[in-house]
Chain A
Amino acid sequence: MTDTRDAILSVQNVTKTFEGIHALEDVSFDVRPGHIKALIGPNGAGKTTLLNAINGIMPPDRGHILFLGSDVVGNSADKVAGLGLSRTFQLIRMFTINNATVLDNVLLGAHLQFKPTLFESIFRRRKVNKAEKEARDKAMELLRFVGLENAADATPGSLPFGNQRLVELARALMTDPKMLLLDEPASGLNDTEVEGFTELLLSIRQKGITILLVEHNMKLVMNIADDIVVLDFGKKLAEGTPQAICANPQVIEAYLGTTLTECRFEP
């Protein structure tokens, strides 16, 4: 294990039980700053439960989760987001009321930084207008970044599944996160679209944002993960580089199978 002082996120002995069943059992691993770490494992292994524990949606029964050195267990999800830890969801969550557009959905990500008081909203219009304009400009820039500038005024529901995920990603980036938790962001993308998405994640890492990536698409994972942690039945099964994970017989048996072409690395 790396020295936890070097880690941006340190998951320590996390345990979570649902009705007597161990969803997570004594799970520990670190994520180094600037890394892309992949979290893989069979359906039902506890990956989403772990993300929920990390970002405060559903705290663990036992264990510690250190983000930037301080324990975030017990913090609410918005508090954790405020600390710089943002996430996307496996099942896309878009706001559609009042005909909210794609741009509106991205703008929602700004609410953590931009909280005008009632006084300001009434008597400091110029200041508030300026802040609103800045937020819009930033949201548009992020939509450009994910390749959706032409969809700003569309309703999220009119976009294909894969593009809705990109809206979620832009919304998560709107919070200026230090770290992103991504829950199956590539599901529903074809192999060529996955290549574009790979580039996108690499440029996010380039910005200095650390990523914890839950994903079943091995083409994506094996291409970009600095290292991988594998969960199976709520326990850590393995941890290591993509090459090491691909060669691990237990991981092959529980998860990868033997037919994957993505696991053939250039020597």
Chain B
Amino acid sequence: MMLKAEAISASYGRVKVLKDITMSVESGEIVCLVGANGAGKSTLLKVISGIVPAVSGKFLFEGKDITNKKPDFIVKEGLSHVPEGRQIFADLTVRQNLILGSYVHNLPKQEMSRLFDSVFELFPILKSRLMQKAGTMSGGEQQMLAIGRGLMSQPKLLLLDEPSLGLAPLVVETILTVIQNLRSTGISILLVEQNVNAALRISDRAYVIETGAIVAEGKAGELMENDEIKKSYLGM
């Protein structure tokens, strides 16, 4: 078991936004969180990575309790979060952004260059943009940088929040392919994506979240055939 959430609850002020969430990601899986705007998907990712505190419940990452640990500790354990809207450092260069992704490990130079190479293998465009200010790149390139930065901490589990947001159709296809390639290198993925059709197509399993609670779960292929899911999320 890569990640296990047991009865997680979380609140913003007095508003309870996650209620008794129990879910898991197995090693090597792509798991997708499906839900309407405001259902709590991004919040769940933030609670997992320690940005928003859990009020109750427990997270086990490879069997180890990481509930409410500091974000940098969680990254160091091998769990990396690529946030919604990319949140790259616009005034820093591509290279600086990538270096920041690896800072928790304090790696020797040789190891760093190996890491750089592995990111360039996935996103060759980043290599040619290395000294460019990140904010001057197109949306698609910025998303690649955000994922690249996430990979620089050598995660076992990658949390991806809306990686296709604001991207051209062709670039969305590229990103989806990259996610599948990442999985084949052994990285597990927990994916939040409004492009539900595409997300379910590449996922093994999915959880459906409504107003902070899980209302359905199952194999991605089966959920795609579920009438309720089709009506609520797939626009069919």
Contacts and interface: CB of A to CB of B under 8 A. Distances in A.
Given A42-B170, A43-B168, A257-B169, A163 B37 contact: yes
Contact of B234 (A161, A163, A192, A254): A192
B231 interface: yes
Contact of B170 (A90, A184, A255): A255
Chain B interface residue count: which class? 20 to 34
9 contacts: A42-B170, A44-B138, A163-B38, A190-B195, A191-B234, A255-B168, A256-B170, A257-B170, A260-B169
A43 B171 contact: yes
Interface in A176-205: 184, 187-195
Interface of B: 12, 36-38, 84, 137-141, 162, 165-173, 194-197, 231-236
Interface in A2-51: 40-44
Given A160-B37, A189-B194, A191-B234, A43 B138 contact: yes
A184 B166 contact: yes
Given A41-B168, A257-B173, 16 more contacts: A40-B168, A43-B138, A43-B140, A43-B168, A159-B38, A160-B37, A163-B38, A187-B165, A187-B166, A190-B37, A190-B196, A190-B233, A191-B236, A192-B231, A192-B234, A193-B37
A236 interface: no
Nearest to A158: B12
A63 interface: no
B43 to A, nearest CB: 10
Which of B38, B166, B171 has the most CB atoms of chain A within a 10 A radius of its CB? B166
A191 B171 contact: no
B214 to A, nearest CB: 17
Contacts of A160: 36-38
A162 interface: yes
Nearest to B168: A42
